[in-house]
């Protein structure tokens, strides 16, 4: 009994490892998909005029009493970078937010409305692919959990294992395509988007890294599942050969 129980325990360990990786991938993908920190950076905007007794470095104040005079306006444009302030912003698939000047909180806008019209189709494809990625990961998690708790038949468990491997691989491919399409759309929006949104400096945020970590966990789960399926098939073939060999030996014994 000992040799036969070791492969079964080994299969359980591999199934648990695949389920853990797939579950992590699902959690990471949902978190990244619902957040707005795929990209972060700063926007360079002109400082507003100081109102009333407000002071500080975030607004422009005149020494002259005539704030609307041509000389005052000319003075503003000649101050160079001193008249600009950097505002932090972050953007995701659904919306983009930036901090307010001299006010608390953020102002958010739909990222879809900021995307150039020619690229909105690609963005919608990216959103659909991300949703399918999450749905397929959920299906893969359900199949893997059923496989772990399924004790009646190894053959049935093997069929579930094969189906979960296909679903997980397909989810990983969709996730990779979705992430790459969003990256392309964001870069096009940086170059061709509205003037009042284009960032001065930007880089990818933690949500973007989390999305690719989810993809890595998904592919690791797929590899583990396929490895488990292949090893189980090889074990069956090996046992069948041993059984056939023992039958042949038993069949020849009466002749001697």
Domain assignment present for residue 83? The answer is no
Question: Which residue in this structure is represented by tokens 């494809």?
Answer: 125
Q: What is the pTM of this model?
A: 0.76
DSSP state of 149: T
DSSP lists the bridge partners of residue 44 as 86
For residue 175, what are the domain limits? 8-36+116-236
Question: Is residue 93 assigned to a domain?
Answer: no
In order of 117, 130, 132, 218, the CA distances from 125 in angstroms are: 14, 9, 10, 20
What residues contact 212, with CB distance under 8 A and at least 6 apart? 179
Report if residue 192 sits inside a domain. yes
Whether residue 85 is contained in a domain is answered as: no
How many domains does one find in the chain? 1
Main-chain phi, psi angles of 53, to 5 degrees: -95, 15
Helices (H), the chain: 2-34, 70-77, 111-114, 120-148, 154-192, 206-252
Residue 46 pLDDT: 67
Question: Mean pLDDT in each 10-residue stretch from start to end of the chain (256 residues)?
Answer: 50 82 95 93 73 57 52 47 74 89 80 91 95 95 85 70 90 95 93 87 92 95 86 68 65 51
Residue 23, domain member (yes or no): yes
- Which residue is it, tokens 């005539």? 66
At 6 the pLDDT is 44
Return the CATH number at 176. Answer: 1.20.140
Element (H, E) at 39: strand 39-46
The reported pLDDT for the residue numbered 228 is: 81
Q: Is 204 within the bounds of a domain? A: yes
- Tell me if 253 is assigned to some domain: no
Can you give the pLDDT at residue 155? Answer: 72
Residue 32: inside a domain, yes or no? Answer: yes
Distance between start and end Cα atoms, the chain: 31
């Amino acid at each position: 009994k000992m040799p036969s129980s070791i492969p079964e325990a080994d299969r359980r360990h591999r199934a648990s490892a695949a389920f853990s990786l797939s579950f992590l991938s699902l959690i990471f993908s949902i978190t990244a998909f619902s957040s707005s920190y795929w990209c972060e950076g700063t926007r360079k905007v002109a400082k507003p005029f100081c109102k009333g007794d407000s002071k500080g470095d975030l607004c422009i104040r005149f020494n002259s009493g005539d704030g609307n005079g041509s000389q005052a306006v000319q003075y503003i444009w000649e101050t160079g970078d001193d008249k600009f302030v950097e505002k932090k912003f972050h953007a995701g698939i659904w919306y983009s937010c930036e901090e307010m000047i001299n006010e608390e909180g953020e102002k958010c806008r739909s990222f879809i409305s900021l995307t150039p019209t020619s690229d909105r189709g690609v963005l919608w494809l990216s959103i659909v692919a991300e949703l399918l990625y999450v749905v397929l990961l959920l299906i893969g998690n359900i199949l893997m959990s059923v496989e772990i708790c399924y004790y009646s038949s190894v053959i049935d468990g093997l069929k579930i294992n094969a189906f979960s491997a296909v679903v997980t691989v397909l989810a990983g491919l969709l996730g990779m395509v979705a992430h790459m399409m969003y990256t392309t759309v964001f870069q096009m929006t940086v170059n061709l988007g509205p003037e009042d949104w284009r960032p001065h400096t930007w880089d990818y945020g933690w949500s973007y890294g989390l999305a690719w970590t989810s993809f890595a966990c998904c592919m690791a789960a797929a590899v583990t599942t396929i490895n488990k399926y292949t090893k189980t098939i090889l074990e069956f073939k090996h046992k069948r050969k041993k059984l056939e060999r023992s039958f042949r030996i038993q069949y020849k014994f009466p002749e001697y």
